[in-house]
Each structure stands twice: as C-alpha cells, then as structure tokens.
Homo-oligomer: A and B are copies of this chain.
Amino acid sequence: MSLEDRYLENEYYTQDEHGDYELYDLGDFELARGQTLRDAKLAYQTFGDLNDEKDNVILFPHMYSGTHRDMERFIGEDMAIDPTEYFVILPNQLGNGLSSSPHNTPPQDGGMGYFPEVMIEDDIRAQHELVTEEFGIDELQLVLGWSMGAQQTYEWIVRYPDMVKRAAPIAGTAKVTPHDQLFIEAHKEMIQSDPAWNDGFYTDPHAVLTGLRRHALIWSVMGLSTQFYHQSEQAWDQAGFQSVDDFMANFWEDWFLPMDPNNLLTMATKWQHGDVSRNTDGDLEAALGRVKAKVYVIPFEEDMFFPVRDCEYEQAMIPDSELRPIPSLWGHFTMFGVFDEDLEVIDEHIGELLNESV
C-alpha cells in the first residue's frame, strides 16, 4: 500500500524509486499548530527483527528532502547498525512525499497549497505512536539522524527522555539558529519566486522547474564547504564530476529537480521552526537538561549551516554528552556519503555509542 496514486502523480515518490515501505494509519492527526491532518499516514521501513524483549530497537529519521531510503546505506551486517542484531525503524517525515504530503493529498482534503504547517514535534508524536502502538516498544537503544534527522533526534530525547538510551544528533541543532532561519527563508523564496508555483496549486508535477533549479543553486552555495570548492579539481574528480557546471547539473539539480516543491516547502517550514524549547516554555537549557540518554553530538567541520560551535553550545547543556566533530571537505553534506571514508568515520562513532553501557 502506498499513497503514490492519491493525487498528483510523480514518479519520484513511488515504490519503484524508493523500494517497499509500510504505511501506519495515524487517523485524523491533530498538529501542533492546531490544524488536523485528515486520514494521515506515516510511511516507514524496517530492517531486522524485533526481539522478544523488544529492546533491540534503533530509530533513524531522515534529513530535509530525504526519505527512509537515504538512511539505508548506514545499515549492514558489517556495520554498527547491524540488522541481524537490531530492529531498525526508518520513519519518513510527514510531508516528505511518502508519508502524507502536499502532493499526495487532494486539495479538497487539505493538500497541495492548502497543506498545513507541520512541526518537528508532529513527526515525533507520530513516530512515538508508531513505535508504541504498532510495535509495543517502550525503549529505544539509539535514536540518530542527520540535519533535520538531528532535529528529530533532539525532539525525541527531550520529549520522551525515559524512552531513549542513546542518541546521536549529527550535523543539526536542537533549536534552529537565526542564521539558518534566514537561509531557509531564502531557499523557500527560490521556489516560491517561480510564477509556476502558483501558491502551491500546480497540476503538472514538474511545472516548477525554474524554482527548483534556483533552489538547487542556493543549496550548492551553502551545502558544501568553501574548502571543497577551493580544492575543487581534486575533490570533484574524486566525486566523479568534471566542473562546477557538471556538478550543478548532475549532483544538485539531479537531486532536487524530480521532487515536489510543496513537499520541500513543508519540510523547510518544519526545519525553520525546529525548537525543543517549546517543551519547556522557551527555556533551552531546561529542555536539554532533562535528557537522560547518552548523547554524542556529532557536527561536521566546514558545515556552513551548523558550525561546530553552534552544536557545542547545545552539547554543553546536555548532562551525559560528548562533542565529536568530524572533519570533512563536504561540509554539511558529509553524510550524503559521497566519500566512503566519511561513511566509515560516521559508522565508527555510531559503533562506539552503541557499545556505551547505559
């Protein structure tokens, strides 16, 4: 079962493209901002088997513009997240195109340009329902995620501190920074500036090509490090690209152009408002102070969205935590995994965290 035929057909959001996944029925789901997502579905994929004690669970939400598929490369029998040992749940974000999203919800049911604003905590409440109601799980060995996955990880450990034993927020923050808010505003503008966007009511899934191309351009500016571009010939060659133009067309545009603009905007708005301190009346220190998990805060050096020091600022507020910065030329996109050695280093950190006795 999937939502792929429910409204605007887009070949990107299909099981052909993303592999099998399941849908959990959230019913009429009330959102943090008061609106209701009717007949809401949470898409997810699992790896491995839930043991009888139900104590071998890892939850691994994904980043902006991603799906469960993008996290699969971190799961393997020779990796820290070993599916013969763990039961791994990969939830899809609300609005990501596989879960309930603008493009798969008809306008008359609140889709497309009518789709409500979703907050990070809505995803976490939906995932909590999946974990507890569908699987009867009350303990997570590890919650981890990259970028918006880190935002979700933080929300998990602040909202449900007794459920999570270990956590690894990677290249993301518990509270969005003003700088990131401006960046996200700029990249939303990139899409919305295209007249074809039409306030979210287009009928051709690929009508907003110019807006998506502009959106890819601004990602190319902030997504990687200046150092990556500085060492460009060497770094591109290693990544399989010939030039800036080739890199723009065959990396950034290749990634974003198949996607649905309203879906991206829904995720962007969520990112823009990510803030665990809504759990504690705006007191970030109080929010992070109640975390019980063992936490590795893992920023990437050269990350222009989430500089190491912004992550360190929050890490210092988390009782049982360590800062573990990873050097990489790719900046924020280190976790995209273009370089095998980056994946290996990330895997090592995850392995060490899983071996922490808590």
Residue from the list B194, B304, B313 in contact with A304, Cβ < 8 A: B304
Q: A221-B222, A227-B309, A309-B227 are in contact. Are A244 and B178 (CB under 8 A)?
A: yes
- Within the complex, which residue of B181, B186, B248, B313 is in contact with A244, where a contact is CB–CB below 8 Å? B181
Residue among A179, A186, A194, A232 with max Cβ neighbours from chain B (10 Å):
A179
Interface residues as binary, A286-314 with B (CB distance below 8 Å gives 1, 0 otherwise): 00000000000000000010010110010
CB distance from A113 to the nearest CB of B (A): 19
Q: Is the interface of A mostly helix, strand, loop or mixed?
A: helix
Query: Given A178-B244, A193-B193, are A230 and B183 also a contact pair (CB < 8 Å)?
Result: no
Judged by a CB distance under 8 angstroms, whether A321 is at the interface is no
Q: How large is the interface on A (under 10, 10 to 19, 20 to 34, 35 or more residues)?
A: 20 to 34
Copies in the complex: 2
How far, in angstroms, from A159 to B139 measured CA to CA in the complex? Answer: 68
Task: List 21 A-B residue pairs with CB atoms under 8 Å apart, sorted by A's residue number.
Answer: A177-B226, A178-B230, A178-B232, A178-B244, A179-B221, A179-B224, A179-B226, A179-B230, A181-B244, A185-B217, A186-B214, A186-B218, A189-B190, A195-B195, A218-B218, A221-B222, A222-B222, A226-B307, A227-B307, A230-B309, A230-B313
